[in-house]
Amino acid sequence: MKKAAILAYLLFATSFTPIAARFVVNEISPLSLAFFRFGTANLLLIIIFLIQRHTIKIDKKDITRFIILGLLVLPFNQFFFLKGISLSTAAHSGIMYSLTPLFAYLISIKIKHEKYSHGKLFSILLSIIGIVIIFYENFIESEKSTSMEGDILLILAVTTWAFYLTLSKDMVAKYGAVKTSTIAFTIGSILYIPILIYDLPNFTLDKLSTYGILSFIHLTFLVAFGSYFVFTWSSKYISVSSLTTSMNSSPLITIVFSWILLNEKLSYFFIIGTVITLFGVFWAQRYNDIKINKSAELSSIE
């Protein structure tokens, strides 16, 4: 029962994030929204940080790393995500973010956290082909649509998020998840203040509706703050491979409900590109599971 509740929460939070974002960016300027979303989540993190009696002391050699993490998580990622989704669709965002594990894997190879594997080449190529098909539709409709610009920003959002996840691993191992996130979020919020000041003339709550308020609550409390702790806590009850496999279905839920709630059109190009992309992501996860099982078998034999 506990395992099912955890999976249901994470699946709901992940699947409806693009939809909630699509609702609220129509009512609040994306640039201001990014600050208030992560600023609020950061305040909640600081409360947990103080309750657990952490200190802000870090090694001098890690200061640059934390500044980079702060830049990635708020000014870069949130700008690309919220601005991108305001120009694109929730369905496109769901598919782009499904590529996060593959992006993180490629980045890990570059910084030598992971070894290159020929077994994942097929899944990477499939995912690239799928995204190219989706982008091709945007290209042929570029004169009458902003989706191309939006999807490029979403790809950049996925890239910056994958960089954040990859680069934060060492800091989490060294300082713990709460301390790492709190410091990174705080630095990101401070660095974002000039952008907020620049965008303040565009910030207004005049258009804010009930759906917009609920969407902000979802993005801030359920995702930026809540999902982080539930995901960390869930590792005690659910294996990472099982959790990741379950989360792979979230883009499909996003697509279905973006069609129902937002009346987003699902073209043949998008459907074909989505199937190919998700198959690539699934294949990569399947390869990981097989590799883990083989390693476990060899260890038991030894």
pLDDT tens-digit map of 165-191: 888 888 988 998 889 989 999 999 999
Give domain status of residue 200, yes or no: yes
Give domain status of residue 105, yes or no: no
Residue 122: which pLDDT band, with cuts at 50, 70 and 90? confident
> With 60 as the cut, is the pLDDT of residue 290 above it?
no
**CB hemisphere CA count around 189 (13 angstroms):** 17
The Cα 193–Cα 167 span in angstroms is 23
Cα-to-chain-centroid distance, residue 18: 10
Give domain status of residue 151, yes or no: yes
pLDDT attached to residue 141: 61
Give domain status of residue 284, yes or no: no
Residue 118: which pLDDT band, with cuts at 50, 70 and 90? low
The model's pTM: 0.84
Give domain status of residue 97, yes or no: no
**Nearest partner of 208 among 19, 23, 32, 37, judged by Cα:** 23
Give domain status of residue 135, yes or no: no
Count the domains in the chain.
1
The Cα 123–Cα 279 span in angstroms is 8
Give domain status of residue 239, yes or no: yes
Residue 258: which pLDDT band, with cuts at 50, 70 and 90? very high
The Cα 152–Cα 148 span in angstroms is 6
The Cα 12–Cα 260 span in angstroms is 16
Who has greater pLDDT, 286 or 11?
11
Q: How much is the mean pLDDT over the chain?
A: 82
pLDDT attached to residue 231: 66
pLDDT attached to residue 71: 95
As a whole number, mean pLDDT of residues 118-129 equals 75
Residue 202: which pLDDT band, with cuts at 50, 70 and 90? very high
**Containing structural domain, residue 18:** 2-91+146-268
pLDDT attached to residue 302: 37
Who has greater pLDDT, 242 or 164?
164
Contacts of 170 (CB under 8 A, 6+ apart): 65
Q: What percent of the chain has pLDDT over 90?
A: 40
**CB hemisphere CA count around 216 (13 angstroms):** 22
Give domain status of residue 121, yes or no: no
Helix axes 30-51, 77-87, angle to 10 degrees: 140
Who has greater pLDDT, 95 or 117?
95
